[in-house]
Structure 1
């Protein structure tokens, strides 16, 4: 593995290697605490090794796209009109006999609780919910999942992929990409449209669009997600990659092509044949994560963690999987952006905290290596802690990281 210890604090910036196609100059949003090193969510979802790295955009005023989108939601959107459009859409597809007329993917977290519950109980739809199982359920995650279904009155298909296949793909993704969540993300995103087509359900509703967090604003100009995001569209001779390994090479790791079927996207033909449309509820209803949390508590007894979630200061975001914290920790290693940054940036945009408080929270908690489930996660990856940390260190980009008295330090911190 490459030894980055040669890159000292005083190395000239122009001599430092920049990995992953990230911008060399690190810029922090003047309004929130996110930096221009944040990758697009579409990059994390990419199956193909040729997919180009894209990062969050900043305007000439130093404001990021996510903050700009939050301002647009406040100043430019007529939410009453948007809701009227939602009602028109739902009236068009609503079942009259109680059969499924809409599909909502989710885990029983605050966002999927809000989306499914309000569609059923306020707008009188008949949703089928589908869940791609977490790697390792937390106790509170499983309890919230059960409460979601029983207290909201919902049918659900819980799909748990082959444990050996999923573990191997996760291990490969960690070793090759430092992205242990990639197999989960691929499976989760592809599961819902395939289930909708299988059951003949015309509408799939996700919660918020990734534009809320920094994907290009023009991706949320309308409510529908482009079919190309979910449908398989490969050029001749092009291959797909899982965990950084070409699909045809996975048998060397004990994974046969047929075992990847659950992860593969729906074909464009099947999507068209099923006339499936994928929408974002956050386009029609103003989406605020903290309000989703309060709604979930009120209507399904949703429970937050009993203690602060490691790596951040919050207690209710992404708490159903014991491996969640390591996903955010690896983003900190690769991009200098950890879980506290994501949480604090979001809360600044929603005007729940001021930027000064957000900066202090980032300095205090960002990059904390979660310890609570570390032994279980290491066992899941089939590696010991020394190897786990060595692999992580090999993914540090020298333009972001330096060694100071034997300790890794970020070259740039939000101020």
Structure 2
């Protein structure tokens, strides 16, 4: 059995869903890349950014200056603040709605377009199709949020092509920020390849259309238009280019969050999510920190508390010891919103548990006495609940 190791600075495991590399001192690639921020000349990066936006500024007033994909979260607020208030640009905001906004998240989204005075496209797909994609996502790849990740990284680009707006402004490059996939010195930009191979893990709408009957579901090609990425020819005809804000401005949610709260009325809920201590993250989807993240724990043995702890350790505002304590208390919890999601898609909890168990990573989990076991960050193995697999399925997990 492969032994899981943990970063000696943050708390990410080697089983991370975002690929990590560890050096001879046990430091993960995400921590190394995060450390680059202190060495960057951010004034020089700002000038590079200003050159880019000046190049794409709509000179005759007949179109938008750029498109910003937004959820209405703290990061969206910061990006719109930069473009509208600091640089005086006229952005078009585009939101893909996964149909699971928290009340606070929806309030923030509506407030954002009002306080900034911007045009905003809010797209919601056929709800029955969304429910179908939720169910298929869990059964095909153990993730009900495939449609959401694909929608976020497809629909705004469709709008860019349709409105002939070439420049798109994204926030962070997720795999670079969490796992150090690239260096900040690479000034990496958005690519179809990154979206396809990493964000949606190689699955396109065609896979869902083809496999739907296998799971007793029905989908048509036309129902999946929102997830159809524009062709190379369409992208080239407009010259669509996606850049990341975090490559040009020192990105720190713990600074940006309070700023947009004070300046623009961004709100956080009274209580944090069950599976993380942070109140200001992922308000655009009630299941992102909940049952969706619980599936990540089932698959890879860690959850959202680990993600947030790692960010805060790297930012220097949390000790590793405190981080371990939070992970120990939160990462494993089965959240209450599981019941809401089950009702939404029409499943029983038993069905969900049986399917979820089939996606457990053999590097992480083993079975003993009818229970799931794994090693922990604090170096003591623990049991984490009943096994829902049949005897044949259990064999590969038995020691």
* Aligned: 1:39 with 2:2: no
Distance change (3 Å), C-alpha of 1:328 and 1:215: farther
Retained in 1: the 8 A contact 2:168–2:243?
A: yes
> TM-score by structure 1 length?
0.84
Write the deviation string for residues 169-195 of structure 1: whole angstroms up to 9, x where unpaired: 110111232211111111111112211
Q: Which residue of 2 aligns with 1:148?
A: 112
Higher relative contact order (CA 8 A, sep 6+): 1
Q: Which residue of 2 aligns with 1:128?
A: 92
- Distance, in Å, in 2 between the alignment partners of 1:63 and 1:279 is 28
Distance change (3 Å), C-alpha of 1:393 and 1:226: closer
- Distance, in Å, in 1 between the alignment partners of 2:74 and 2:253 is 8
* Aligned: 1:333 with 2:298: yes
Tell me by how many angstroms 1:106 deviates.
1.1
* Aligned: 1:81 with 2:44: yes
Q: Which residue of 1 aligns with 2:137?
A: 173
* Aligned: 1:199 with 2:177: no
* Aligned: 1:117 with 2:117: no
Tell me by how many angstroms 1:97 deviates.
5.7
Describe the SS at the equivalent of 1:165.
helix
Describe the SS at the equivalent of 1:143.
helix
Tell me by how many angstroms 1:402 deviates.
3.4
Tell me by how many angstroms 1:95 deviates.
3.0
Structure 2 portions without partners, runs of 5+: 380-399
Retained in 2: the 8 A contact 1:336–1:410?
A: yes
* Aligned: 1:292 with 2:270: no
Distance change (3 Å), C-alpha of 1:86 and 1:399: closer
Q: Which residue of 1 aligns with 2:382?
A: none
- Distance, in Å, in 1 between the alignment partners of 2:98 and 2:359 is 25
- Distance, in Å, in 2 between the alignment partners of 1:281 and 1:38 is 25
Q: 2:328 aligns with which of 334, 347, 363?
A: 363
Retained in 2: the 8 A contact 1:28–1:414?
A: no
Describe the SS at the equivalent of 2:233.
helix
- Distance, in Å, in 2 between the alignment partners of 1:82 and 1:370 is 41
Tell me by how many angstroms 1:403 deviates.
4.3
Q: Which residue of 2 aligns with 1:307?
A: 271
Write the deviation string for residues 194-230 of structure 1: whole angstroms up to 9, x where unpaired: 1111111120000011201115125871242234445
Pairing of 1:247-286 with structure 2 (within 5 A): 247-250=209-212, 253-286=217-250
Q: CA RMSD in A?
A: 2.2
Write the deviation string for residues 66-124 of structure 1: whole angstroms up to 9, x where unpaired: 1111111112x111100011111112222356541110001100111111121111011
- Distance, in Å, in 2 between the alignment partners of 1:307 and 1:273 is 47
- Distance, in Å, in 2 between the alignment partners of 1:149 and 1:175 is 36
Retained in 2: the 8 A contact 1:248–1:257?
A: no
* Between 397-406 and 280-289, the greater mean CA deviation after superposition: 397-406
Q: Which residue of 2 aligns with 1:94?
A: 57
